[in-house]
Chains A and B, each alone.
Chain A
């Protein structure tokens, strides 16, 4: 069963707009990560937030984590056509199984020029 589930499944915006993707998970976690996947390629790590953090920034990325609601959001500001990709959240198993990253089904983002 999937630990993380992203919402929405697909998002279409214009260049310059902000894109927000949400992730919900089911069990306690130690860390939550976001990855990007360009079409036909492997996943690339974007950003990690630890369970004792509430917000983290990296360039145009902003991630929030609400452990009480078991949810996270990824905000991409001033989007570009090059941001077109699928975005996945990933959580560890939370049971000490640090080896096992569990991925959600992803959000497909399309940024139109």
Chain B
């Protein structure tokens, strides 16, 4: 099983360029997430999709857009990249439980983005 697959693994952009990070999961999970990881900051939630057809903002959504293309795929778009968006981006998925259930995430390997 591939789990969560992210592409590309590495990307260098110039300020103002746009790009899309792709994410696909093969576990039939309902929920998908995009996090960014910066040194000393842990992971911060950018956007998430609780189920197909819905998306919501996380902690740091500014400068990003997302699309839940279908149940398997969740893409993250940078419309006009800025140096502050240099980071490692992680996609994750889960079968979210309701009530007092637990939301255990499965992560992709990450996409390292550098904006010059």
Interface residues, chain A, with chain B CB atoms under 8 Å away:
2, 4, 30-31, 33, 35, 40-45, 48, 50-51, 88, 90, 92, 98-106
Minimum distance in angstroms from A41 CB to a CB of chain B:
6
Given contacts A35-B105, A43-B90, 16 further A-B contacts (CB under 8 A): A2-B41, A31-B100, A41-B110, A43-B105, A45-B104, A45-B106, A48-B104, A50-B100, A88-B42, A98-B96, A98-B98, A99-B50, A101-B33, A102-B59, A104-B42, A106-B42
User: Per-position contact with A for B19-62: 1 when CB-CB < 8 Å, else 0?
Assistant: 00000000000010101000011111100101000001011000
Name which residue of chain B comes closest to A88, CB basis.
Answer: B42
Is B107 touching A105 in the complex (CB atoms < 8 A)? no
Name which residue of chain B comes closest to A31, CB basis.
Answer: B102
Q: Which residues from chain A contact B4 at a C-beta distance below 8 Å?
A: 42
Q: Which residues from chain B contact A30 at a C-beta distance below 8 Å?
A: 100, 102
Is A92 touching B103 in the complex (CB atoms < 8 A)? yes
- Contacts A42-B108, A43-B43, A105-B40 given; does A99 touch B31 at CB 8 Å: yes
Q: Which residues from chain A contact B50 at a C-beta distance below 8 Å?
A: 99
8 A–B contacts, CB within 8 A, in A order: A2-B41, A35-B105, A48-B104, A98-B97, A99-B96, A100-B58, A101-B103, A102-B45
- Contacts A48-B104, A99-B31, A103-B42 given; does A42 touch B96 at CB 8 Å: no
Top 5 closest pairs, chain A to chain B, by CB = A42-B107, A105-B42, A103-B43, A103-B42, A43-B107
Name which residue of chain B comes closest to A1, CB basis.
Answer: B59
